[in-house]
Structure 1
Amino acid sequence: MSLSFIADLAKWRDRPALVFCGQRTVTYRELGERVARQALAFRGPRGLVTIEAELCEHAIIAYLAALQAGHAVAMQAPRNGSAGSWVDVFAPDQAFRRIDGRWRTEHLRQDGRAPHDELAVMLSTSGSTGCGKAVRLSRENISANAASIAGYLGLTAEDRGCHILPLHYSYGLSVLNSHLAVGASLYIPGGSILDPGFLDGLAESGSTNLAGVPYSYELLEKVGFRERRFANLRFMTVAGGRLSPEVIRLYSDHLTAQGADFFAMYGQTEATARIAYVPPALLAGNEDRIGVAIPGGRLLIENESGAPIEGDGVPGELVYRGPNVMMGYATSRDDLCRGAELKELRTGDLAMRHADGLFQIVGRMKRISKIAGLRIAHDGLEAALERRGIAAAVVGDDAGLHAFFAGGRDAEEIRRFLAQASGLTLAHLKATPLAEMPRLATGKIDYNALNMAARQAAANGDDGNGGIEDLFAQVFYPKRVKRSDSFLSLGGDSLRFVQLSIGLEKALGQVPDAWETLSITELSAQERRETGTRRIGTDLLIRALAILLVVLHHEVLWPIPGGSAAMVVLAGFSLARFQMGPLLAGDARAILRPLVQILVPYYMIVAAYAAAWGEVPWASVFLVGNFGLALPETHDMVPYLYWFIEAYWQMMLVFVGLFAIPQFRRFVSAKPFAAGMALLVAALAARLALPLVWPIGNRQIFTLPWIFYLAVIGWCAAVAETTRQRLLLMLSGTGAFLFFGLYEGVWIGTKIKYLLQIAVLAALLYLPRVSMPRWAAQFILPLSAAGFHIYILHRFVPELLILPLQPILPPAAFSLLSIFGGVAVGLVAWLGQRQLLKTLAAWRARETRPLRLFGSAVLRSPLRPL
């Protein structure tokens, strides 16, 4: 079932097949033998094999071997890119990838339906790194396109192509296929065009041709390609996007002077690789055209009704027919069993045919905006700017257009040019400068990233330089964030969750459910939704009410405790909800690192007390003041108020210690709820045994054994998934709270405290989100976010800031001022910290924004595969 050119590898014998930097060579004989050996590793019935398509001999051999073994092959972008995995989407039977630095074959499954007999290769559309949709290519598609390309390029066994394009990209794969089909060789430099020695290596390799995308030619200009002479070079090709007519003319003239040719080509992954090309003899004066159909193919122009347009110069959708048209798309494993579903490819490009028979792309069907009655092609505006020497990418919709441009031009100047070219007013136009355009691994401009940035800029009322990525960068400072990151992947905790909820509400209106699992890219793509109500997590409401209860109780000493206990429950709940991944990985640093934002303010307060007392409260310095070993009166520890910080720190250490045990991690991973309930039994036993083995009187309420079971109950609430699990936890928690409140409690406040936790537990289990008026949410969320700051600072108001007013104010007025002032001071501190992080993040962004605006590794360094 393998392709003919793979079966014929051995016939080329000792001719070179692959040549690497340093002139190391793999002959066709050796290539055939290695492919045969690797094919044995892909044992088993016909299935799907995913290959991590790094541009190296291992991936090339695996690709050929999997096809020779009769499998369908999914070419997956290398993992050091931003690619998502196809494992969950297409359930491959085998995978070939790097594991711990070595290439290995993994046997994943053998119970899926076999792919259709004709299916040979799956590629992401347009060479993108997304994993949601793939193009299904048949053996006939691959063979026909390879033969067609070799035919119009005149490839022979004497040729050697310089291969710099990604293998998971249809253009890059077609270079490999077309050369192997005729016994030609490929030189693989294994680096970037910008790498020192690239041009020297190209000259020494004896390459006769070089295939590139438009970005490749930008890099070639940077390294002075046209200043060198390459004696063996007989042609160059470009595809994968629009190269400006000026650059095409520049290289065509340069190559013609050297006795070589330049091929401007057009293609789509859906047509395996190539659709059209301009014969070099016709290129002069036609640099803006895609040319004629490749051998064996046919191009047509159709109107919106699907009827052929026979006249020249009339635009319509470009339609292609040929043996290289894909079988169809695939979005699931079941799709791989389907046969060919297409006889023609509707390209989505707006094109017209000229009288000389050459075709020209004039726009993209989906890249047209209708604004103020005008139909405006984005590509046309890009061309207009290009004629003024401005490299720009234009995106937009029917509300307006946004140009992202490179260079030192003024944004207002760009907007004026756009207005002249489009006939629109400045109100419809925005422009944003970039140090470098975001690009896919193929070198194409990443229009998806630009569209997301434009939408976010519109949502925030700016020019595209702020947005959700900045919000994440601010909240997670000093950690660097990428657009592929999510709240969970960054190791977010409960405090950051609330802060981000506030920022996302401002940016998106209605925050999507489970937003913490969405990447920055996915959040940026969300449409803004304005509603009169706001759905927030019940835990956020509980957190806000709990801190208000703490402040109220500390001031009036009414029998209404329970706020601190609720906060302990929430601590366990948040730990399981947000940081389960690092815990199961045994990553102690990821769990303890967020505590810095709690411990730094705490130690500032400890230092303030030490300065005021003239003595160091060592018990508090070592976070053991709640153990009953010291007294605030003797200045050995800070006031009892800060017991919560010490207990929280100790709680995190216990969790980290437990998850440092591999057996415990495996238990939690396999049965999270059962593990939580087992831990709850142990925690309740510690709570009951504490007064017997550690008789320290009332100070025992500040110790970790006294409260740890509350955190475990919160943990269990987060991992309880079934109705049975929730009911079991509700009954267990209610029983414990009733016992401690009614049987053991001797004060009405104790009863209220534990009965209140029953309501907290019920809300977490059965009411995960609550709806409320937007104004109420705008009050609750800042309180929840500032809860920690309010907790540690609220008593400074009555005991320090307004203490001189106590003699002259009525007790009720003093208490009200203490309560509201304590809350206000905490909110101000939280806002100050937020502003500081925003300033620091913005300062760093000014240094790195062009490198990280769209989260692409391409922006940090030159395009690696090129």
Structure 2
Amino acid sequence: MEVALGAGDLSIFPFCVAHLAAQGEKPALVFPGGRVVAYRELAARVDRQASYWRDGRGLVMLEADLSEHAIVAYLAALDAGHAIALQVAAALKADREIFKPDFCHRRIDGRWRTERLEGDPVAPHPDLAVLLSTSGSTGQGKYVRLSRTNIEANARSIAEYLGLTAADRSCLILPLHYSYGLSVLNAHLAVGASLYIPGGSILDEGFLDGLAESGSTNLSGVPYSYDLLERVGFREREFPRLRFMSVAGGRLGAEKVGLYNEHLLARGASLFVMYGQTEATARMAYVPPDRLRGREDRIGVAIPGGSLTIEDESGRLITGSEEPGELIYRGANVMMGYASARADLARGAEHSELRTGDLAVRDADGFFRIVGRTKRISKIAGLRIGHDGLEAALERHDIAAAVIGSDVEIHAFFVGEHDPEDVRQRLASASGLTLLQVRATRVDALPRLASGKVDYEALRQRSPLAGGSSNTDGVKALFEQLFYPQRVRPEDSFLSLGGDSLRFVQLSIGLEKILGEVPEAWEKMPVKTLAAMVRQERKTPQIGTDFLIRALAILLVVLHHETLWPIPGGSATMVILAGFGLARFQSGALLSGSLRQLLRPLAQILVPYYLIVAGYALAWGEVPWASVFLVGNFAFADPERHSMVPYLYWFIEAYCQMVLVFAALFAVPPVRRFAAVRPFAAGMALLAAAFAARLALPPLWEIGNRQIFTLPWIFHLAVVGWCAALAQNWAQRLAVMAAGTAIHVYLGLYEGVWIGTKIKYLLQIVVLAALLYLPRIRLPQWAVQLVLPLSAAGFHIYILHRFVPELLLAQAQPFLPPLVLSLCSIAGGVLLGLAVWSGQRQLFKWLVRARAGALPTHWPAGLKSWLSSGHPLLALGPQKESQVQRQ
């Protein structure tokens, strides 16, 4: 791959003497105080050093101090044809004994000297160029073997996506034995750019002054570097020549990414968020700066010349979005292999791909996001807990911590004046564990490797953690409780189990508690895939917009029933959501002709409904037969005659009728075949028919104001929701939006007879637009905690809220002012629904535990056997509300 970048000639190995000399008097290295080493001088020094090493091919071990001496030695070893191992001073002695280098270049008594050693007869492979330690700390005798092709390919790629030219200058603060720091050096030398080497820490007095005076156009750092930059007030200063900053070497919090991105954008600069590993010669992915906003938690796309894929545990390629698996990288920069002894240096390339060990997902736009690590995970009480996610959760409370863990407990080491018990509480809340399973220890400072990364091994040595395992899977238990009494297999998904919109909200709440943020299209993912995901906490969680709409709709219904004015429209919105849910979750059953699967969820609605009907029958001493047969909304019965329950329950009757109409339509084979081939066209045709029925049938069937409760009056709303769920591209969304707007404008402004009707129909235009163009929405955590329970308990609130003013407050009504009575009725109706919903969740949690044999031993054996069997009668319970808590 030949790419012309800047002034450098990349057709030759970019760090040889000839390449350096060709840059002439351009500055190569710049130091505080204005001292400059030009490329020509650098080339001469490299050539002079290399001349001492040009006798055969061997191994040079270098004390990789961030200095001009180390840079010259690094380039000289490459030019002389040797392999060079870069390491910190503390590791040189141990690694010299293991790898038996031919030369060691290090500081002795304050001066840089080359030691000629006995070496080893094993010659390094001709392609081998650089060895970088995998530990980054005290030598552990394991190096990554990088070829000349690896280094050149990565330098080319980095220079390309950063747009580097000879006019650039990087402020190099990262150590050379760290692959990220070495890549900064390599990429800039490859194009004839220069490097400013401040020679100290960011915290050193005068660092920012030196940065400004150096004329640096870019600055690269790890997340810890950005913490230090905040401490020294980087964002309070101006650096006119700064063109971009970059971050890699770990996860920089999304909030801080957004902070620096906006700061740099305001100054005409850019932030590059990157991802890499030493095994891929530093970098594998980056987020294009112009697409970073809104993707602050992503690692981006593959670098030029590379590719990223995701595979599951069996090696199957994952092509869907938001489905996690191990991230696999392929490219010319993938290492040759590892080396733990001198003999390993003679081996050739052994890898064509890099299995990163990171769990990742791909979003709908093709951007990758890390969701955890295959090794930094604990499995406790059935929960797969990512240590990185816990650190992020603590970070949002300004707690700087490093988390380690086993399959028994989690341990957080933190700095600062926080109360350890408060840290434990937050750790337990973020992980879903109990206080018995978490520890928190205050330390003066987190131990760090030379790269700036946390030294987790040092922390692990401080806290021996017991081993252990658990066979209980929190996600699987969640599905089992929701779909009780069905048996749930790891390969089952929400849709394959026959999930519907009523279960969807319930399960979303449980998954949100386990995973932190529920991935898009989770309803299609197998249970085992969801269980493998790692918790991803978000300060502003993302939820489905339909959840918010559902919660607001039920509140509108409660308010409207209590005040009558001026907020109608909640019921109409619920009808749209009903059609939306049918298309999302039941279209498969309809297209396959599986009417049983379609009708089964009606039990979730009809069981509580018939309990209410039975209650009225007992109170009246008469059976409301119209309600028994779900036809009370057709105006031939009356609550005052006790032939039907109150009008409030018309929605349940209409919903059941709606499902039967869909079932009847799709029972016709030609209809099914057409809808299977052209689902959107079939939906729009049905919308036209439903609207025609809305206009034609009411005038032919004079039943007065009761017509607003009938199926012909509201069926078109359900079909609008159906079409919104089927719209897959902008043209289809535009068609649904135009049709829905036209219908509702006509019904609201032309046909509407009072202002409430106008509000009702015009409100549906907003609802439709949100469903089509804003499928997910980010809300503060406190808002999510309000919205999700209201959405999940919506059915209970709907069927129970009128019991508060008409039954529970009936005796107090004469003594309460109207405003107080209304407020108590509204709040009480919502709280009653939430309380019953919560009680039902606990009931189904208990039933699942009973089936698992966790009942008290003194219970009757017959009852325990019946419950454990999952008897079909138990399936009639209102599973919609069987939301579970993790055990």
> How does the TM-score come out when normalised to structure 1?
0.52
Query: Deviation per CA, 1:662-712, whole angstroms, max 9, x where unpaired?
Result: xxxxxxxxxxxxxxxxxxxxxxxxxxxxxxxxxxxxxxxxxxxxxxxxxxx
Q: How does 1:497-512 map to 2 (within 5 A)?
A: none
Look up the SS of the partner of 1:86 in the other structure: helix
Distance 2:433 2:352 in 1: 40
User: Is 2:165 aligned against 1:152?
Assistant: no
Look up the match of 2:652. none
Distance 1:353 1:317 in 2: 11
Distance 1:129 1:263 in 2: 30
Assess, with a 3 A threshold, how the Cα gap between structure 1 residues 288 and 83 changes in structure 2: closer, same or farther. farther
Query: Deviation per CA, 1:457-478, whole angstroms, max 9, x where unpaired?
Result: 99xxxxxxxxxxxxxxxxxxxx
Counterpart of 1:167 (choices 157, 164, 176) is 176
Counterpart of 1:181 (choices 174, 190, 193) is 190
Distance 2:102 2:93 in 1: 18
Distance apart, 1:423 and its partner CA = 2.0
Tell me the amino acid that sits aligned with residue 3 of structure 1: F
Query: Deviation per CA, 1:432-478, whole angstroms, max 9, x where unpaired?
Result: 112321111111111111111121899xxxxxxxxxxxxxxxxxxxx
> Is the CA contact 2:285–2:299 (under 8 Å) kept in the aligned structure 1?
yes
Look up the match of 1:22. 33
> Is the CA contact 1:2–1:69 (under 8 Å) kept in the aligned structure 2?
no
Distance 2:136 2:317 in 1: 30
Distance 2:306 2:466 in 1: 43
Distance apart, 1:408 and its partner CA = 1.8
Tell me the amino acid that sits aligned with residue 170 of structure 2: G
Distance 1:263 1:251 in 2: 10
Query: Deviation per CA, 1:280-339, whole angstroms, max 9, x where unpaired?
Result: 011111111100010000001111111111111011111100000000000000000000
User: Is 2:38 aligned against 1:52?
Assistant: no
Distance apart, 1:379 and its partner CA = 1.4
Counterpart of 1:198 (choices 202, 207, 223) is 207
Distance 1:164 1:343 in 2: 32
User: Is 2:302 aligned against 1:281?
Assistant: no
Tell me the amino acid that sits aligned with residue 163 of structure 1: L
Distance apart, 1:5 and its partner CA = 3.4
Distance 2:119 2:447 in 1: 40
Distance 1:383 1:306 in 2: 29
Counterpart of 1:119 (choices 99, 103, 128) is 128
% identical equivalent positions: 68
> Is the CA contact 2:14–2:189 (under 8 Å) kept in the aligned structure 1?
no
User: Is 2:455 aligned against 1:431?
Assistant: no
Tell me the amino acid that sits aligned with residue 4 of structure 1: P
Look up the SS of the partner of 2:319 in the other structure: coil
Tell me the amino acid that sits aligned with residue 88 of structure 1: E
Assess, with a 3 A threshold, how the Cα gap between structure 1 residues 455 and 414 changes in structure 2: closer, same or farther. same
Look up the match of 1:299. 308
Distance apart, 1:97 and its partner CA = 0.8
Distance 2:461 2:142 in 1: 19
Look up the match of 1:40. 51
Distance 1:90 1:374 in 2: 43
Assess, with a 3 A threshold, how the Cα gap between structure 1 residues 27 and 377 changes in structure 2: closer, same or farther. same
Look up the match of 2:237. 228
Distance apart, 1:126 and its partner CA = 5.8
Distance 1:290 1:444 in 2: 18
Assess, with a 3 A threshold, how the Cα gap between structure 1 residues 129 and 173 changes in structure 2: closer, same or farther. farther
Tell me the amino acid that sits aligned with residue 323 of structure 1: A
Look up the SS of the partner of 2:101 in the other structure: coil
Distance apart, 1:429 and its partner CA = 0.8
> Is the CA contact 1:119–1:139 (under 8 Å) kept in the aligned structure 2?
yes
> Is the CA contact 2:63–2:92 (under 8 Å) kept in the aligned structure 1?
no
Counterpart of 1:3 (choices 5, 13, 22) is 13
Tell me the amino acid that sits aligned with residue 75 of structure 1: L
Query: Deviation per CA, 1:34-86, whole angstroms, max 9, x where unpaired?
Result: 1110001113210000011111111100100011001000011134xx66631
Assess, with a 3 A threshold, how the Cα gap between structure 1 residues 83 and 351 changes in structure 2: closer, same or farther. farther
Look up the SS of the partner of 1:301 in the other structure: strand
Tell me the amino acid that sits aligned with residue 53 of structure 2: F
> Is the CA contact 2:47–2:76 (under 8 Å) kept in the aligned structure 1?
yes
Q: How does 1:181-580 map to 2 (within 5 A)?
A: 181-455=190-464
> Is the CA contact 2:15–2:78 (under 8 Å) kept in the aligned structure 1?
no
Distance 2:115 2:431 in 1: 54
Distance 2:137 2:286 in 1: 23
Look up the SS of the partner of 2:345 in the other structure: helix
Distance apart, 1:111 and its partner CA = 4.3
Q: How does 1:685-704 map to 2 (within 5 A)?
A: none
Look up the match of 1:649. none
Distance 1:229 1:457 in 2: 51
Query: Deviation per CA, 1:157-182, whole angstroms, max 9, x where unpaired?
Result: 00000001101000010010000000
Query: Deviation per CA, 1:120-155, whole angstroms, max 9, x where unpaired?
Result: 000011634433210000000000000100000000
Tell me the amino acid that sits aligned with residue 341 of structure 1: E
Look up the SS of the partner of 1:381 in the other structure: helix
Distance 1:293 1:128 in 2: 28
Distance 1:399 1:2 in 2: 54
> Is the CA contact 1:55–1:190 (under 8 Å) kept in the aligned structure 2?
yes
Query: Deviation per CA, 1:698-749, whole angstroms, max 9, x where unpaired?
Result: xxxxxxxxxxxxxxxxxxxxxxxxxxxxxxxxxxxxxxxxxxxxxxxxxxxx
Look up the match of 1:67. 78
Distance 1:179 1:129 in 2: 29
Distance apart, 1:349 and its partner CA = 0.5
Look up the SS of the partner of 1:173 in the other structure: helix
Distance 1:78 1:242 in 2: 28
Greater alpha carbon shift after TM alignment, 402-411 vs 2-11: 2-11
Query: Deviation per CA, 1:540-598, whole angstroms, max 9, x where unpaired?
Result: xxxxxxxxxxxxxxxxxxxxxxxxxxxxxxxxxxxxxxxxxxxxxxxxxxxxxxxxxxx
Assess, with a 3 A threshold, how the Cα gap between structure 1 residues 434 and 110 changes in structure 2: closer, same or farther. closer
Distance 1:299 1:419 in 2: 34
Tell me the amino acid that sits aligned with residue 52 of structure 1: E
Distance 1:95 1:8 in 2: 25
Stretches of structure 2 that go unaligned for 5 or more consecutive residues are: 1-10, 468-887
Distance apart, 1:2 and its partner CA = 8.6
Look up the match of 1:12. 23
> Is the CA contact 1:126–1:268 (under 8 Å) kept in the aligned structure 2?
no
Distance 2:123 2:114 in 1: 19
Distance 2:92 2:252 in 1: 26
> Is the CA contact 1:83–1:131 (under 8 Å) kept in the aligned structure 2?
no
Distance 2:84 2:435 in 1: 50
Greater alpha carbon shift after TM alignment, 379-388 vs 245-254: 379-388
> How does the TM-score come out when normalised to structure 2?
0.50
> Is the CA contact 1:35–1:65 (under 8 Å) kept in the aligned structure 2?
yes
> Is the CA contact 1:239–1:267 (under 8 Å) kept in the aligned structure 2?
yes
Greater alpha carbon shift after TM alignment, 387-396 vs 47-56: 387-396
Tell me the amino acid that sits aligned with residue 69 of structure 1: A
Query: Deviation per CA, 1:399-439, whole angstroms, max 9, x where unpaired?
Result: 11101122222111121222222221211110111232111
Greater alpha carbon shift after TM alignment, 29-38 vs 5-14: 5-14
Query: Deviation per CA, 1:598-649, whole angstroms, max 9, x where unpaired?
Result: xxxxxxxxxxxxxxxxxxxxxxxxxxxxxxxxxxxxxxxxxxxxxxxxxxxx
Distance 1:102 1:423 in 2: 55
Distance 1:443 1:107 in 2: 32
Tell me the amino acid that sits aligned with residue 99 of structure 1: I
> Is the CA contact 2:411–2:440 (under 8 Å) kept in the aligned structure 1?
yes
> Is the CA contact 1:127–1:170 (under 8 Å) kept in the aligned structure 2?
no
Look up the SS of the partner of 2:125 in the other structure: coil
Look up the SS of the partner of 1:127 in the other structure: coil
